[in-house]
Structure 1
């Protein structure tokens, strides 16, 4: 079962996964590729912290995109390139499962002054995460 989680961070949508960070990242990776996206990287912040002699809860960010979709956004608003490729964060908050977060597409559109008709590519993280979290 997944539920939406209330967070004070503006512009993020967060839901709970019943699975741990590694399992959730793996499922998101497979779903993103199934939808035609290229996974650029998985950044494992906790592993990097361990290499530096520090500790933090498991936290990974998967970065993926599709140039056919992202290029039009960057042509319309070049500054949006700082937010592309798209990403989903999965982290351990000390409770069963993990938290899955992505940028709210409406927030990103507003931030860059883009119209709703341009937002389809920004819906991909939500679609990928929702498919994984709802078992579709």
Structure 2
């Protein structure tokens, strides 16, 4: 987990925050390339800073990506339809006031086991996502 020296925000225990070694645009491009190379579907890209600007307010650079693989997520939702609220997966890329870029994601494997009673065997592929995200921000 990380926070910049100039800012401190509450971070729930199931959310992981990684600091990228590269700028905002490069971090986003690397994430999208990682999804594509692993046949992960990018369902939506929400530019939250642009939405804020369009509404007359301001927000630091912030983009939310909704992504997943239906072959991996469908068995989870079949096992417990309520788990669909956690899927597709989400990652947010944001830049703090010091210019550091962060990649935040929810470790849904904790939630799926604890809160939805899903057998870990059903989300083996999801367990690979944190390593992929770490590789994107550290390369």
TM-score range, shorter chain: 0.7 to 0.9
Asked if structure 2 preserves the Cα contact closer than 8 Å seen for 1:15 and 1:100, the reply is yes
Q: RMSD of the alignment, in Å?
A: 1.7
TM-score w.r.t. structure 2 length? 0.85
2:57, 2:128 → 1: CA distance?
Answer: 33
* CA deviation after TM superposition for structure 1 residue 63, in Å: 1.2
Per-residue CA deviations over 1:15-65 (Å, capped at 9, x if unaligned) read: 100223222111101101111111111111000000111001111111111
* Length, aligned pairs only: 132
Q: CA separation in 2, counterparts of 1:133 and 1:8?
A: 19
Q: Which residue of 1 aligns with 2:25?
A: 22
Aligned to 2:66: 63
What does 1:1-136 correspond to in 2, within 5 Å? Answer: 4-5=1-2, 7-109=10-112, 110-135=114-139
Q: TM-score, normalised by structure 1?
A: 0.87
Mean Cα displacement is larger for which, 17-26 or 45-54? 17-26
Gap regions ≥5 residues in structure 1: none
Q: Which runs of 5+ in 2 are unaligned?
A: 4-9
